[in-house]
């Protein structure tokens, strides 16, 4: 199919040679079609030039100069090839495509060579653009899948048998001692599940909403852990209106409670801090850990999903840093500030 596409300019060149260079039709066709097939392979080199000088991130003047220089060099090599082919035709069939008329056809061949090389380069750029568009679409779909995975993970955590068992156990225990508290916890659990599903349907929410969801989760856990779970929230100025992906902090806070504070007999304090330097938003979650307890590496599935979501959303602009100080496990998220 590629060679068939080059037959059209080959026939056009044969027509021009037959009419302007006063060459016979048979001689023009015998010269033009093989020469054009050879140039079809030579023009594939335009792909290397296009990859070396992409349209995005490269000076336009430098790109155009490089393309023009490559076109001139390719055209010159093709002219030498055409001269050899004309000599071969003269030797095989004298008078079919007279070699003495070749100089008259040089300007036409040179313009053809330069023009076709630039068309080949434009085609390569178009292919690169289409591939980039498909790649961007694929990344968008992957981002949606990862966001849905995070939402599903959060929902699974919320309806996880252990979570519901512990919550309902606490509610059951409160019904005989403090009915009002049991009713409050039931409403809190319902609000938490409803908010999680509502926020999970959006691509972005305010940090204020994400923190409200986290606080609902922690209030429920406080009923279970009592004084063993303390929460310290430090909200930096200008951060509550920042836009973040939904269900970003909830799996990390859940990890901090279940894999950190829950493993310490006396419990501990969970710290949630938000701050900004004007261009980026920094979110810190810190929890105490038992230094003698062996913990699995990697931070768990929740941290892995958060890291992948930030990579898809912000590229190098988003980061997740994990720090272990022996007695504390600290996760720091950094994303561009968007309000």
Residue 58 lies in a domain: yes
Is residue 105 located within the same domain as residue 169? no
- Sequence-distant (≥ 6) Cβ neighbours of residue 71 within 8 angstroms: 113, 114, 117, 118, 121
The total of other beta-carbon atoms located within 10 Å of residue 22's CB is 11
From 83-92, 122-131, 294-303, the region with the lowest mean pLDDT: 294-303
Average pLDDT, the chain: 83
Is residue 124 located within the same domain as residue 167? no
Is residue 248 located within the same domain as residue 124? no
- Sequence-distant (≥ 6) Cβ neighbours of residue 145 within 8 angstroms: none
Is residue 116 located within the same domain as residue 203? no
CB 13 within 8 A of CB 36: yes
DSSP designation for 236:
P
Q: Which residue has the tokens 């919550």?
A: 167
Q: Give the residue among 237, 259, 253 at the shortest CA–CA distance from 306.
A: 253
Residues 234-252: what's their mean pLDDT? 89
Is residue 196 located within the same domain as residue 292? yes
Q: What proportions of the chain, in percent to the nearest 5, are helix, strand and coil?
A: 70, 15, 20
Is residue 70 located within the same domain as residue 164? no
Q: Which residue has the tokens 């100080």?
A: 325
Dihedral sign for Cα atoms in the order 109, 110, 111, 112: positive
Structure confidence at residue 136 (pLDDT): 86
Residue 144 lies in a domain: no
The helix or strand, by DSSP H or E, that contains position 272, with its residue range, turns out to be strand 268-276
Write down which residue in 72, 104, 137 finishes a domain: 137
Q: pLDDT of 215-230, one tens digit each?
A: 988 988 888 788 899 9
Is residue 47 located within the same domain as residue 120? yes
Is residue 168 located within the same domain as residue 120? no
Is residue 129 located within the same domain as residue 204? no
Domains identified in the chain, total number: 2
Any idea what the CATH number is for the domain that residue 278 is in?
Answer: 3.30.565.10
Is residue 127 located within the same domain as residue 217? no
Q: pLDDT of 4-60, one tens digit each?
A: 888 888 888 888 887 876 677 887 888 888 888 888 888 888 888 888 888 777 788
Q: Which domain holds residue 184?
A: 160-336
Name the pLDDT band for 170 (thresholds 50, 70, 90). confident
**Interatomic CA distance for residues 270 and 115, integer angstroms:** 68
Write down which residue in 85, 103, 137 finishes a domain: 137
Q: pLDDT of 245-295, one tens digit each?
A: 888 888 888 888 888 898 888 889 999 999 999 899 999 999 998 877 655
DSSP assignment of 32-79 equals HHHHHHHHHHHGGGHHHHHHHS-STTS-HHHHHHHHHHHHHHHHHHHH
């Amino acid at each position: 199919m590629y060679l068939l596409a080059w037959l059209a300019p080959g026939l056009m060149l044969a027509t021009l040679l037959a009419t302007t260079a006063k060459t016979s039709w048979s001689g023009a066709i015998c010269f033009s079609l093989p020469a054009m097939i050879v140039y079809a392979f030579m023009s594939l080199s335009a792909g290397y030039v296009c990859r070396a000088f992409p349209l995005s991130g490269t000076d336009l003047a430098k790109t155009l100069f490089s393309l023009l220089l490559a076109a001139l060099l390719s055209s010159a090599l093709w002219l030498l090839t055409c001269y050899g082919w004309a000599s071969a035709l003269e030797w095989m069939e004298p008078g079919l495509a007279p070699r003495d008329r070749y100089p008259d056809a040089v300007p036409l061949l040179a313009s053809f060579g330069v023009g076709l090389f630039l068309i080949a380069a434009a085609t390569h750029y178009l292919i690169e653009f289409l591939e980039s568009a498909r790649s961007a679409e694929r990344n968008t779909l992957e981002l949606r899948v990862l966001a849905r995975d995070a939402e599903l993970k959060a929902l699974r955590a919320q309806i996880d048998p252990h979570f519901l068992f512990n919550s309902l156990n606490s509610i059951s225990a409160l019904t005989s001692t403090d009915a009002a508290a049991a009713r409050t916890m039931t409403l809190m659990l319902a609000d938490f599940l409803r908010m999680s599903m509502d926020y999970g349907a959006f691509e972005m929410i305010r940090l204020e909403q994400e923190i409200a969801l986290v606080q609902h989760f922690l209030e429920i856990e406080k009923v279970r852990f009592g004084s063993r779970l303390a929460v310290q929230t430090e909200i930096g100025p200008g951060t509550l209106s920042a836009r973040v992906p939904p269900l970003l902090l909830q799996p990390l806070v859940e990890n901090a409670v279940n894999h950190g504070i829950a493993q310490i007999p006396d419990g501990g304090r969970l710290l949630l801090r938000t701050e900004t330097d004007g261009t980026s938003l920094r979110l810190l979650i810190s929890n105490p850990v038992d230094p003698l307890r062996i913990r699995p590496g990697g931070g768990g599935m929740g941290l892995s999903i958060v890291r992948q979501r930030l990579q898809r959303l912000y590229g190098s602009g988003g980061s997740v840093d994990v720090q272990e100080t022996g007695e504390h496990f600290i996760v720091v998220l950094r994303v561009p500030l968007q309000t």
